[in-house]
Structures are given as structure tokens and as C-alpha cells.
Amino acid sequence: MTKLKTQLENAAEIKATLQRLNIRHTIDDVDVECCVVYLPCSNGVCDTALLFEIIKNGLLTNFALSYSEIQKKLAFAPDDAVEALLNKSIRKLSKKTAHGELGELLLFTILDVYLTAPKILSKISLKTSPRMPVFGADAVHAQYIDGNLRLYLGESKLYKNFNSAKTKALKSIQTSFDQYGQDFDLIESYMDFPEMTPQGQHELIKLLNPFTRDAVFSPDMLYTPCFIGFEDPKLFANNNNYINRYKIVAKSHLDSFYNSAQRVGVSPHKTALLILPFSSIKELVLGFVDYMEIA
């Protein structure tokens, strides 16, 4: 099967705001996947206004709603659909859950834009109450890599302290396979992403089904990327040295994450660390709530 089509159509615009450093990381001389991203920095803080703008102009809608619903409304009422879809997306969130869902939104964005893995299940769209959290994997994406299906069960942490986030995330990653059955039931019922024919969807479900007697699903298909948004105000203290200092910090966090992964039995080649620093997590979340006018 060919590559699965990603959902976000403005990847270039997103990359101009969520910029990526060209950093490689190796374990025993073999590259592991990682994504070190950052926001433009000015006056000692990262520019979250740019981030909130692209979230409002399409990211939130694509994250919170199913692809089919978005396309259906755009087709039948294009003049009114964009605002209506955004408002519905905002109603899926609450001040109580916004912290975690902002992290999940950033995870979704990086997986789609930089790892080119489309979302195949929108859990947020299934929420019946904005105040209720969503259980299971924080992101369910997929892609064919060298002809083999890779199922991404992503984990997201938006924490003040990187090490605390890393420890919590690796505990969740360790149990991702055990919890996959619950996610598969949702995938089977609600799988939805661009340009998938009914035949292609049927074939994909067969590959992902762990419950049939002749199941072809294998744990080898599972890939557990981890997004960590962390606070590091010292990074933004001197704009002239920001990038160079971030490279040093990123290298330290990559070493720490993959070494810890190996210690707890998570293969460094079955996970990817995706990181993004902020000057203040509290101010980030409050700014997100205010900008989106989340109730």
C-alpha cells in the first residue's frame, strides 16, 4: 500500500511557526527518531501568539473533529462552515481539560507535519462532555514505512519539569500494548482519515485487529512516540544564544529519555521523543484558554 495521506494541508505554514532543529540522535551508532521543535523567541519569551493563531486557524478543528465531518460541512456550507467547525471544536474543550488537550494537540500536529503520520482516530470528537478526559493513547496515527504498517500510539505530557514528564510518559508507554484492545475497538468503529476507500479501510482494519484467530497484527507494528512540552525559562533569557543553548538542552534531554527508555525495557527504536520548550507552562495554558475563549 502507498503512503497514507496526512490531514493538515498547511504544513509549510505550521513549520514556519513550529520550527525544527536539525538534530540527530544515535544509540549504538544507529539513528533513533526524534523531533526537536521550537517557537520563535523574542524579548525573553517564546512567541505563543503565533502558535495560538495557527491553532485557531485550522489546527484545533482538525485535531478535535473527524476528517469526514469537516469535509462534509465544508462541502455543503462553505461560507459558514469554518467558524461553525471552530466553535464546535472549542466546545469539546473545557478549562478543566485544556492543559492535557493542548499537549495532545501539539502531539497530533508534530506527528502529522513532521512524521507525516495522519490521525486515524479522533477521540476528542467522541467526547459527550467537555469536562471529561479521554482515556487510552493520547494520539492514534498510522503510516506505511518501507511498505510495513506502523501504528502510532502517542503519549503527551505538558509539564513544568522535563524529568517528571519523562518518567510519567515512559510508564504509560510500557502499558500501551496492554491497553491497545480498547483503542482498537474505537478504531474499528470510528477510523477516519483522508482519501481512504472502503476497501482500503477494510484491509487496514484486518491488519490492526488483534482479536481474530488468524490475526496478522503484531506488537512489532506498534510505535510509541512521546511529546514533552517542558518549561525552561533560562533558555529564553538571552535571545542571541537561544538556539545554541537549546541544542545543548535538547541533547541532554534526548540522552536522558532514551537511556531511561532502555532501563525500563522500551526499545529506543520503537519510540520517538518530540520536544518543545516554553518559558512558562502555566502562562501557556492560561493564554490558550483565553485566546480560544474556552468555557
In angstroms, the CA 269 to CA 65 distance is 31
Predicted confidence at residue 125, as pLDDT, reads: 86
Residue 57 DSSP symbol: I
Q: Looking at the domain assignment, is residue 253 inside a domain? A: yes
Residues 6+ apart with CB under 8 A from 163: 256
Q: Looking at the domain assignment, is residue 124 inside a domain? A: yes
Helices (H) and strands (E) in the chain, counts: 11, 12
Q: Which tops the pLDDT comparison, 8 or 216? A: 8
Number of Cβ within 10 Å of residue 66's Cβ equals 19
Q: Looking at the domain assignment, is residue 268 inside a domain? A: yes
Q: Looking at the domain assignment, is residue 194 inside a domain? A: yes
Burial 46-56 (b: 16+ CB within 10 A, else e): bebeebbebbb
Q: Judge contact between 8 and 62, C-beta under 8 A.
A: yes
Q: Which tops the pLDDT comparison, 238 or 99? A: 99
Query: End-to-end distance of the chain based on CA atoms, in angstroms?
Result: 43
Q: Judge contact between 52 and 292, C-beta under 8 A.
A: yes
Predicted confidence at residue 219, as pLDDT, reads: 84
- Picking from 201, 202, 180, the residue whose alpha carbon sits closest to that of residue 192 is 201
Q: What is the pLDDT of residues 206-234, one digit of tens each?
A: 999 988 877 788 888 999 999 999 999 88
Q: Looking at the domain assignment, is residue 5 inside a domain? A: no
Residue in this structure with the C-alpha cell 494541508, named with its chain if needed: 9
Residues 6+ apart with CB under 8 A from 281: 158, 159, 160, 229, 230, 231
Q: State the greatest distance between any 2 C-alpha atoms of the chain, in Å, as a whole number.
A: 60
Predicted confidence at residue 258, as pLDDT, reads: 97
Q: Looking at the domain assignment, is residue 276 inside a domain? A: yes
Residue 239 confidence class, pLDDT cut points 50, 70, 90: low
- C-alpha distance from residue 42 to each of 39, 55, 215, 220 (Å): 10, 20, 53, 43
- Picking from 95, 252, 226, the residue whose alpha carbon sits closest to that of residue 159 is 226
Predicted confidence at residue 236, as pLDDT, reads: 81
Q: Looking at the domain assignment, is residue 6 inside a domain? A: no
| Mean of pLDDT values over 247-259 | 97
| Mean of pLDDT values over 161-178 | 93
| Mean of pLDDT values over 5-18 | 94
| Mean of pLDDT values over 155-168 | 97
Identify the domain containing residue 53 by its residue range.
Answer: 11-292
Q: Looking at the domain assignment, is residue 1 inside a domain? A: no
Total tally of structural domains belonging to the chain:
1
- Computed over every residue of the chain, the mean pLDDT equals 91
Quick one: cell of 227?
511529546
Predicted confidence at residue 193, as pLDDT, reads: 87
Over 90: is that where the pLDDT of 246 sits? yes
Predicted confidence at residue 44, as pLDDT, reads: 67
